[in-house]
Chain A
């Protein structure tokens, strides 16, 4: 599977190394080193995935992430040197789908990229209901009372995973594996942040969620439909 990957990183050595690894795995990397030029490069390259360094000259990674997310649902994987919760959560809240902490192994990076790209494979036609929402899996749309709700691919996957098994309580680890494609549970903060983001889009009142319900001490489940 060919995939265009836009690498936004100011460290030329790392960018070059990323290029070597990505080309070795069969991806088509393109590069931009400046936050200010990132958006233009994104529009030009139309990548299937963005690898985004958080610390950039010009606009920082968070800002770039927000800008890209504003016009596209393309998967964004952040590269960060800081594993502090605050940094990670800020990055995720700005719209990144996943993050990977430096230093990472090439295999790990490639696995995550593949996991993010895999979902673009053709799904079977399927209609799901969760709460008062209707999900058309193949059409990639979520509707409430005929009104469609815009979700990023990752948020959509999360919602679908919950809606497919409304009787099951998903632990964060299970969700990580199903939605993000991680074999070993890495970081449940990902799940927390994305559930919050999903709720802010699909819930009538995000303070009292009815569609994605928290099960204390265990994880999340779909609300009754």
Chain B
């Protein structure tokens, strides 16, 4: 979040959203504030700064709403209830509006009619009075103008009083001078009943009355001079002429207090009713939705429990409605599931039982045969050569048959999930000592010396001694058998929460891709040369299963002709997840770490890479790398195929390829000194394992092998090398192909079957 909010506005292209960009203080509000300032500056500068500002604003507004939105998204009940509330509110408002307008129409119409007739009568009376009063004064009008004006004023006042007196406060009368005529002081506004004449008559009505000769009406508020509360009212006005023939305005004001009270009552009632209706509708929606949602939620909960393995969970079903049908269907599904799982479990049990029985049934006669064979074998000196040899073969092959049977049973036990870990704290040095002791006779026959490194301190881990010993025996025996009589190094280490044993040999090594395949059942490196060594082909598979059972890793690394290293990593305590291994998977003395090309060539600096027939330097120890074929220099770039150690959940069998840009970049630097330095750092604990392309992607294996076969015939050409030198060539398989070609050239001849 902070990354987003502190990201610079567009227009700051160079600035990465990192810590350095942010203002150092204040700590919390800082980034956002800074961004605001930034975008503000952007705005002033005239660059399009509004979009980040807007974005920022929306984000700022949205943030506190997020939990609510989440609730909204997740809670269907809330959704339905709120929707119901809103919609019913709308309906009620609409209804209220309609009802209110019709009621007010009905109430007011009568009043307005009455008022209009009243006002009409008043206007007529006023005009008549003016006409009658006009006759006498009309004759003497010339004589005295002043008294006439005086008279007109008095007359108007009297008129107003007179007109109002008939109403008993049911209406008020106001006279105003016509604004068109000159307004003498005598023509001041007059009003009955203490009404404020100016305030009570709206200006626009006065204008209209002024302009026409008809009666006009309008709604108004009636104000009083004597601080009485103003009342709502209807005003009707008309322009009349007074006794002098001058025009004036006469207004009737009808208070509408009663009507308004009725309206208020109706409005209040409607509002209360509406509120009730809305709330009740909401409650009803809540109840109804609950009826539907509760079983759905129950189903969801039970489905979760089912998936967690509690297969006997069922929904409660009542009635026969759709929800009940859902429940029934759900329960049927659950019981079918349970049945199937039980069947499978039963099958698995039967399978296990079968394996166990077969084992017993097979083993008893095998024991008899074995003993008989041994007795015959003991007595073979008395036989003729053919029978004696047959006796030997019989005994030997019985051994093999036995170990094969044992391995098969062990594998089937793993497959059936019947393997149980008996972990207790053991010192791996003891185990290693026993294993090495056991392998000594074989090593002597092969002329191999087994060295143990790192056994000064105890290496204690919670593990199953029997299984660990089996794994290590397998690794050590394999290393001796495939080590070409060269040294085998067993390395022990403990660090962090992990212990590791690595078995290193300097034999034929592994081709790219083989590091993952050695763990496959019955896998042999070269099918044509299989069965030269006596293994069952299941040893490493069992070892891998043993490692997995411990929550550990068993991984392989190897380079053609450069030997291989198998590493067993175990967690120190049984329930601890592994994060790394104390020993790097690729040994320090691998070709790459010694700064050598794949074929033992020192890496050439610069871009000058040519096809050079080459002999390995003889002074390289440990064992010199044989290079019999002309080969292209190994390109460091080809090692870009890397393995992420954290992507190895249990074993080397699931190796995930990854382009390691940094590493490849470092390696492309000319000169071998800097390169080996970097790699030594990688080798330190912290699990920067960097197996080369030798531990390649399993997916790429097939194509690589194919290419290796094709390329091994001819030396690699220069253009292939130049191609892989381009850092932008991200195609992993292309790189690997080049490399494989070189490897095949180097190691193909020495490649022997590795039937592990």
Q: Which residues of A contact B (CB under 8 A)?
A: 11, 13-14, 17-18, 20-21, 24, 55, 79, 81-82, 84-85, 102-107, 171-173, 184-185, 187-189, 216-218
Contacts and interface: CB of A to CB of B under 8 A. Distances in A.
B413 A103 contact: no
B374 A107 contact: yes
A220 to B, nearest CB: 12
Contacts of B458: 217
Contacts of A216: 425
A82 B374 contact: no
Given A81-B359, A85-B420, A103 B366 contact: yes
A135 to B, nearest CB: 28
A17 B371 contact: yes
Contacts of A189: 422
B370 interface: yes
B405 to A, nearest CB: 8
B375 A104 contact: no
B375 A55 contact: no
Given A184-B438, A188-B465, A20 B375 contact: yes
Instruction: Tell me what chain B mostly uses at the interface: helix, strand, loop, or mixed.
Output: helix
Contacts of B413: 84
Interface string B349-377: 00000001001100111111111101100
Contacts of B427: 217-218
A17 B368 contact: yes
Nearest to B369: A103
Given A17-B368, A84-B418, A173-B430, A106 B374 contact: yes
A129 to B, nearest CB: 29
19 contacts: A11-B364, A11-B365, A13-B368, A20-B375, A21-B375, A79-B367, A84-B418, A102-B367, A103-B366, A103-B367, A104-B367, A104-B370, A105-B371, A106-B370, A106-B375, A185-B434, A187-B466, A189-B422, A217-B460
A102 B363 contact: yes
A36 B290 CA distance: 68
Contacts of B418: 84
B402 interface: yes
B133 interface: no
B368 A188 contact: no
Nearest to B430: A171
A84 to B, nearest CB: 7
B92 interface: no
B375 A82 contact: no
B422 A14 contact: no
Interface residues of B, number: 31
Nearest to A171: B430
A102 B366 contact: yes
A11 B370 contact: no
B366 A17 contact: no
A85 B434 CA distance: 22
Nearest to B356: A82
Contacts of A14: 364-365, 367-368, 371
B426 interface: yes
B424 to A, nearest CB: 8
Nearest to A185: B434
A60 B374 CA distance: 29
Contacts of B420: 85
B532 to A, nearest CB: 25
Given A84-B356, A217-B425, 6 more contacts: A13-B368, A14-B364, A21-B375, A104-B367, A188-B465, A218-B427
Interface string B418-458: 10101011110010001000100000000000000000001
Nearest to A79: B367
B364 A81 contact: yes
A22 B371 CA distance: 11
B422 A85 contact: yes
Contacts of A84: 356, 413, 418
Contacts of A104: 367, 370
A189 B367 CA distance: 23
A20 B368 CA distance: 11
B271 to A, nearest CB: 78
B574 to A, nearest CB: 13
A13 B365 contact: yes
A102 B466 contact: no
Nearest to A13: B368
Interface string B468-482: 000000000000000
Contacts of A184: 438
Contacts of B364: 11, 14, 81, 102
A79 B371 CA distance: 14
Nearest to B413: A84
Nearest to B458: A217
A21 B378 CA distance: 11
A207 B747 CA distance: 60
A82 B372 CA distance: 21
Interface in B602-633: none
A81 B375 CA distance: 21
Contacts of B424: 217
B124 to A, nearest CB: 121
Contact of A55 (B360, B366, B426, B430): B360
Nearest to B374: A106
Contacts of A85: 420, 422
A193 B680 CA distance: 48
Nearest to B401: A103
Contacts of A103: 363, 366-367, 369-370, 402
A81 B422 contact: no
Given A173-B434, A217-B427, A217-B460, A105 B374 contact: yes
Interface string B361-398: 00111111111101100000000000000000000000
Interface string B320-363: 00000000000000000000000000000000000010011001
